[in-house]
Each structure stands twice: as structure tokens, then as C-alpha cells.
Amino acid sequence: MVALKVPVSRSLLHLMVDGAAQLGIIVSECKAQQFGLYLSELLRWNSSINLTGITDGQQIIIKHFLDSLAYLKVLELQGDEKLIDIGTGAGFPGIPLKLVSPKLQLVLLDARIKRVAFLKHLSRQLKLEGVLCVHGRAEELAHHAQHYQQYNVAVARAVTQLDRLIALALPYIVCGGRLLVSYGAQIDRQLELAAKVLDEHSAALEKVAQVKLPHSNEVRNIIVIRKCFT
């Protein structure tokens, strides 16, 4: 077992396991330890580089880890899909998704180099395989052969409004692939903005799923956009 530099209590690990169970996800003892290490490293690095405004362990578990796992309520992964997390910041939602779906081929993309340095460090600490941490702007990397239409799924959280996100993400996705974005309770405006650009990107709104965030009164709306076959 890895010695945590910032100790994480049993009750926090229990909160993680219980919250995941509320989402229908089994987090084993060993997985819970990995989330504990993630939490510990996030807090440690956050004291020198700005990774998150949330600094309370319990709130990190709810608002970052469980909030990220909420995507699985709609994602229904087969296992080894290629997934890109655009504007991942400190790894949300990508790393929690990878921790519970180890076969996922994950690319974490962010424009801020210090955040990417954290992600590389964290991937090593967590001994994650099949994770690539990429520094750059989404609009610039989209047309590189390595990324253009290479992903079954793109995800994003708290990056930008939905019309801009569609323009940023759709080039990465294979025909028939999906973009999943999570927003809070108010999504009418986002859907209005999206409606104006979906055709232009050969995409369609597939569904909006409401998920209650465990250990909280908040609700998330997960918007699923499907890139259509042309």
C-alpha cells in the first residue's frame, strides 16, 4: 500500500464507496485506496498550483469524484473505448472514469501545462495504463491525425458553453460516437445554444439524463450528443 502524503480517513473512503454504490458502481477496497491517493495528491499539489477551489476532502469526493462517476449512468462503456476528456483540469471526469473502467483508453487534454504535469505525476502514482496526458488547446490539436476522428467518446465538464464545446469536441469523435457534457440544474439555455450548431456539425441531441449527485441535494443533467453518420 502507498503511504499517503496527505492522510485520508476511513470515513472519507467509506463516503466514496457508498456514494459510488448509490450510482450503481462497485468500488472495491483497493479502488477506494486509489481514490484516496488521488485525493491526497490533489490536496498536496493544490497548495502550490491551482487545481481546484474545493479543498475539503468530503466535498472533493462528492463534487469531483462522484460527480465524475455520474457520467457512467449514461456512458455504458463496453470496456476498451477511446475516450478523450477535453479541458480535464485536475482529471475530471476522466481519471475517476478510468479508475472504475481500467480498460478505457484515455486521453486527458488541457491547455494549462502545470495541470498536465499534475496529471502525468498522478497517472504514474496510480500506475494507470492506457492514459495519455496531452498539453495543448483543443481547437489546435483536433486536426492532428493522431486525434482527428479517433475517439468513441468525448467528455467535458465545466469547460465552456455547449455550442462552443460542440465545435471543440466534434472533430475528435468518430462517426456514430458521442459527446457527453454535464451541467447543473439549468440547461435550457445550453440546449438552445446547442440547437443552433448541431446541424453544422452533423450531430444530434440524443438525450438528457438527470442524475442525483450522491450525498448532496444537487442534480446533474448529462447531455448526450451523437455525431451522425453523413
Count the neighbouring beta carbons within 10 Å of the beta carbon of residue 118.
24
Q: Which of 158, 175, 195, 204 binds ligand SAH (CB under 6 A)?
A: 158
Residues near 218 by Cβ (< 8 Å), separated by ≥ 6? 184, 185, 212
Judged by CB under 6 A, the chain residues 73 through 102 that form the site for ligand SAH are 87-89, 92
**Which one of 11-19, 96-104, 110-118, 198-206 is the stretch in contact with ligand SAH (CB under 6 A)?**
110-118
Using CB under 6 A as the binding rule, the residues of this chain from 119 to 138 that contact ligand SAH are 137-138
Buried b / exposed e over 65-86, threshold 16 CB at 10 Å, is bbbbbbbbbbbebeeebbbbbb
* Strand positions, DSSP E, the chain: 82-86, 105-110, 131-135, 151-157, 173-183, 203-212, 219-227
| Beta carbons of 152 and 203 less than 8 angstroms apart | no
| Residues 20 and 69: beta-carbon distance below 8 Å | yes
Nearer to ligand SAH, 110 or 163 (CB): 110
CB 133 within 8 A of CB 108: yes
* Amino acid found at 149: Q
Q: CB of 194: closest distance to ligand SAH in angstroms? A: 18
Distance in Å, CB of 116 to ligand SAH, minimum: 9
CA distance 35 to 60: 11
Give the shortest CB-129-to-ligand SAH separation in angstroms. Answer: 22
Question: Is position 46 an interface residue for ligand SAH (rule: CB under 6 A)?
Answer: no
Stretch that binds ligand SAH, among 6-14, 25-33, 105-113, 196-204 (CB under 6 A): 105-113
Considering only the stretches 54-62, 97-105, 151-159, 208-216, report the one whose residues sit in contact with ligand SAH under the rule CB under 6 A: 151-159
- Shorter beta-carbon distance to ligand SAH: residue 218 or 228: 218
Residue of 159, 169, 223, 225 interacting with ligand SAH (CB under 6 A): 159
* Gap between the Cα atoms of 190 and 192, Å rounded: 5
CB of 229 to ligand SAH, least distance (A): 27
Q: Which residues bind ligand SAH (CB under 6 A)?
A: 87-89, 92, 109-112, 115, 137-139, 157-159
